[in-house]
Amino acid sequence: SGQKVCYGDFKRSCYKLAYFQDLSRRVGFQEARQACEIDGGALLSLESEAEQQLIENMLQNLTKSGSGISDGDFWIGLWRTGDGLATSSACPDLYQWADGSISPFRNWYTDEPSCGSEACVVMYHQPTANPGLGGPYLYQWNDDRCNMKHNFICKYGPDIFPTVPAGNPYDTSKPEDQYHIIATETGIIPNLIYVVIPTIPLLLLILVAFGTCCFQMLHKSKGRTKTSPNQSTLWISKTPRKDSSMEV
């Protein structure tokens, strides 16, 4: 679907389901992992039963949307490297989360993981398939060959997104969404910073020039008003001389 959905009650609160009805567009594990990282997230890690249930609800909503979405497993970020112990009883313990999470939570389907050459993990999503020994092939995990083509689920950290009320998802593809409005408002501050910072040197230069001009004007004003008594009475004679025309 390519739509981010965010929840406020999980440590990492945003998810994106990448579902492709066109089978040729589905990707291998490493391609899915790279796509999530390029998009600013990571291939899904699941840290609890509650988070597993949240993802199941998202997938159920997709199925009920009437958009023709049907079978198609989803890569999650669980995998193992190396083949040394791939066929031993220790194999299940070799799986790790691609995003570095150390969560021990697992939700394997019956008799999984089968190990061997299957080293990457999908979440089952086959609503039209007949149930197996472990029940319907829905939402439980299965290890598969890493080059198989599947849909995938990305997960995003909360540092880029505002927190919203628990259990109240926001679809960021809709401009009228409250989530979209919050994201737009919080984006104003960085834009103002980029505009204001380059103008600081110019503002300082103008301030210095204005201060210098005011200082010079004040200094000249004091020079005109502050004159010595001798200078101010030079045109008056201290000893009046007799005017010859006044003599009798």
pLDDT tens across 203-216, in order?
777 887 777 877 77
pLDDT tens across 1-10, in order?
567 888 765 5
The mean pLDDT value of the chain amounts to 74
Query: Which domains, and CATH codes, for the chain?
Result: 4-82+93-160 (3.10.100.10)
CA distances from 30 to 55, 75, 166 (A): 21, 10, 32
The span from the CA of 90 to the CA of 66, in Å, is 43
CA distances from 168 to 5, 60, 185, 192 (A): 9, 16, 20, 31
Residue 165 gets the label, from left (phi > 0), alpha (psi -120 to 50) or beta, of beta
Check pLDDT > 70 for residue 59: yes
Tell me, yes or no, if the pTM score tops 0.75.
no
